[in-house]
Structure 1
Amino acid sequence: MSKLVLYGNRESGHSYKVKLALTLLGLEHEYRPVDLTIDRSNRPPDFREVSRYGEVPVLVTNGEPIVQSNAILMHLARTTGQLRGECDPDRTVEWLFWEANRIGFSISNLRLVRHFRADSTPELVAWLEGRARADLDRLDEEFRNTGRFLLGSSISIADIACCGYLFWPEQTGINYGHWKHVSAWLDRIRAVPGWAHPYALLG
């Protein structure tokens, strides 16, 4: 069995995606937390050696690092044959790219400016919230017209990617009650055996 090491951070939704996938897959791994408040040049040497862009997450498999959360998710789905959904693989790639451009940008940065950056301008917060709401509208529309998960009846890496930053609603200031289909989807994810909140998984 491959030796797996995951570098991540408890406040990183991208780290959460990978940690959640590893957990749902039942893959044993070592988790090494990285303090992102430390300047990149002063972070642990072992992390700097494997982190091509100086970011988390990084998954090291038998000494070979893979970076970028959605690339790691694709690797895990391909090598395990699980979490692949029931649709054409191109649909998976579409959702991963959509998430990176939309939810992975809007929700994550709204959380950043609302929870971590008290000096953010009202104009920036309003712009990010508007974009986040548009993204939640799009997800809600998807679940109004499709099945239990994004790619069929079971959870896939598309769901894991898109939900990564959605379990901190109190930090983004968005109540999902307006998006009942998104809320129901998140409840279905919570019901998947092995699911846990980001802070529970990332320590």
Structure 2
Amino acid sequence: MPTTPYPSLLLYGSAGSGHSYKVRSLLLLTETPHRYQPIALDTPRAQRPADFVAASQFGEVPVLVDDGTAYCQSDAILVHLAQRTSAFCGAPSEQSAILEWLFWETNRIGFSVPNLRFALRWAPQPAEVLAYLRERAMADLATLNEAFASSEFLVPSGPTIADLACSAYLFWLPEAGLAAEDFPHVARWLNSLRALPGWVHPNEAMASA
């Protein structure tokens, strides 16, 4: 994959954040030079580093600062980086499909799995809330499983930012009480992503600079 040096890139992210991991993973897979600064989300917003507070429009991670310009929201950052690096961007004819999956991820798998995981690990919820989140997560995994029944990745040309976005939290599926093995095509897809040169598990990628 093409490598373009961007020494001015600074990524603010957090351990345990799959949204941060999407961006960090793309930077690592493309060997794009950057600095990574972890942000402790259990620190009150007013006490977080001033440079992060200034850059983060919504007070959230990830935030990418590219030559002085701050970019927020993980999937928007992925689109920006794919354009800048010419990597994981798919074929011109696939752009609509990639955007469709990115928007789907935001409201579906990027909502259900992380919220279920968060509820099970850090913020206990009533049984009916857990049941709702689990039902949504299972439906979303079934959607992906059906998509991968006839395709190795989300679009024909190969892995793109759509795959990075949709898979980000799935490497933590056991922490959400779910098993990729129950969705064999999803399990195969995740193994294909793990096999990409430069792939790093989120626990390692988000731990430190």
TM-score in same-fold range (> 0.5) = yes
| Alignment root-mean-square deviation, CA | 1.0
User: Given residue 115 of structure 1, which amino acid in structure 2 is its aligned partner?
Assistant: R
The answer for the alignment partner of 1:56 in structure 2 is 61
Report what 1:109 is aligned to: 115
Q: TM-score, normalised by structure 1?
A: 0.96
Runs of 4+ in 1 over 3 A off after TM superposition: none
Given the two structures, how large is their TM-score scaled by the length of structure 2? 0.94
Q: Which residue matches 1:125?
A: 130
Whole-angstrom CA distance in 1 between matches of 2:55 and 2:10: 11
| Alpha-carbon distance, 1:88 to partner | 2.3
DSSP-derived class of the 2:134 partner: helix
Match of 1:187 in 2: 191
Secondary structure of the structure 1 residue equivalent to 2:84: helix
Q: Show CA shifts across 1:106-150 (max 9, x none).
A: 001000001112x311111111000000000000000012x2111
In structure 2, what is the equivalent of residue 12 of structure 1?
A: 17
Alignment match, 1:163:
167
Distance, in Å, in 1 between the alignment partners of 2:202 and 2:87 is: 21
Contact 2:113 2:173 in 1 (8 A): no
Structure 1 runs not aligned, ≥5 long: none
Which residue of 91, 96, 100 corresponds with 2:106? Answer: 100
The residue identity in structure 1 corresponding to 2:99 is V
Q: 2:50 — aligned with what? A: 45
Counterparts of 1:177 and 1:32 in 2: how far apart (Å)?
34
| Aligned-partner Cα distance in 1 for 2:83–2:18 | 22
Rounded to whole Å, the distance in 1 between the matches of 2:108 and 2:89 is: 21
**Structure 1 CA distance, aligned partners of 2:34 and 2:17?**
18
What amino acid maps onto 1:107 in structure 2? V
Measured in 1, the distance between the counterparts of 2:32 and 2:90 equals 19
- Residue 71 of structure 2 aligns to a residue whose secondary structure is strand
Deviation, 1:170, is 1.9
Q: Using a 3 Å threshold, how does the CA distance of structure 1 residues 153 and 188 change in structure 2: closer, same or farther? A: farther
Deviation at 1:153, TM superposition (A): 4.3
CA gap 1:187/1:153 in 2 versus in 1, 3 angstroms: farther
CA contact (8 A) 2:79 2:161 kept: yes
Query: What is the rounded CA distance, in whole Å, between the counterparts of 1:149 and 1:53 in structure 2?
Result: 32
- Contact 2:116/2:133 (CA < 8 Å) preserved in 1? yes
